[in-house]
Amino acid sequence: MKPSFIFPKQKDGRRCQQDYFNRVLINGEKIKRSWLMYSKKNDSLHCCCCKMFSQRNYILNREGLKDWKNASHLLKVHEESKEHNTNMATWKELDVRLARGLTIDMQEMALAQAERNRWRDVLTRFVAIIQSLAERNLALRGSTDTLNQPDNGNFLKEVELMAKFDPVIKQHVGRVASGAGSHTHYMGKIIQNELIDSISSKILDTIVEEIKTCKYFSIILNCTPDLSHKEQLSVIVRIVSLVDKPQVKEHFLGFLVAEQSTGESLTLLILKRLEELNIPFEDCRGQSYDNGANMKDGTSC
């Protein structure tokens, strides 16, 4: 406690003293009792190390010492007890281990961080493979999801190739092949789709940000029926980028399923999509449709 702190008085007029926080040796030397704590809330003294490590109940590690009449004697008896000295040694050892980062918790945290770094390195390479295949319009999956099979698809073939030269993927493929660790390997079709969705979302955010920077845009819509005979509406936005030099760019914003191909249905569909992307339609300066007959007649909308 700070020397300036004034301890409250009890009904008998006694109070805690600053002298209690120091031990006086036979030669008169004073040593600070680093283990002693004072609770302002309860007006009581507590032993820090015994409160943490003691298996028995003492006043100093339970409700606290408030007997100021006998406090000096009780503190002396406590600090000379065998259990207090054992707890004190354990406390000091913990203090040293914390300073050196040698506690079990820190070791576990270091192992967990190493595992997180390993997975980050693995996923970074998987994302790069997916991006490379997507840029060349190549399918990821084959007839099987098993490594080292002739028909397991482009993604796993790229993983196998990278494992020959990259130590991170080589170690990961080795762990999967040997069955070491968990069954999680992040090479299946589900995680591939999730990574594709994440990449797509990031690209879309970048495109939308560029559209907002350029402000004005035009839209190009094109309907094509798929194998299930549903109209797939492709949404393309054309902008003029003024970064470095004027440049006309077209960005694909994705497919929308058109339940009906009427002008009203297509209009509501594209307006809803632009609103979801937070792109103001008021900045649209041009419109292009493959089904002009549906869109040019004002009565259809």
Consecutive sets of 10 residues in the chain, 301 residues long: mean pLDDT of each?
Answer: 79 89 85 90 91 83 88 90 90 81 70 88 95 92 89 93 94 84 79 92 93 93 83 91 89 88 85 93 89 53 43
Rounded CA separation 181/122 (Å): 15
The Cα–Cα gap between 36 and 83 comes to: 15
Q: Which residue from 227, 235, 239, 223 is spatially nearest to 274, judged by alpha carbons?
A: 235
Q: How far is CA 124 from CA 115, 117, 119, 137, in A?
A: 14, 10, 8, 20
What is residue 145's predicted lDDT score, i.e. its pLDDT? 86
**Residue 10's CB: how many other CB atoms inside 10 A?**
14
Contact (Cβ atoms closer than 8 angstroms) between residue 69 and residue 16: no
In this prediction, residue 299 carries a pLDDT of: 47
Q: DSSP assignment, residue 65?
A: B
pLDDT on residue 75: 92
The predicted pLDDT at position 2 comes to 66
* Residue-level pLDDT at 182: 59
Task: Please give the pLDDT value at position 301.
Answer: 43
The helix/strand/coil state of 45 is strand
CA distances (Å), 250 to each of 60, 211, 265, 288, in order? 75, 10, 24, 13
- pLDDT of res. 161: 95
Q: What's the rounded Cα separation, in Å, for the pair 146 and 280?
A: 47
What does the chain come to in residues?
Answer: 301
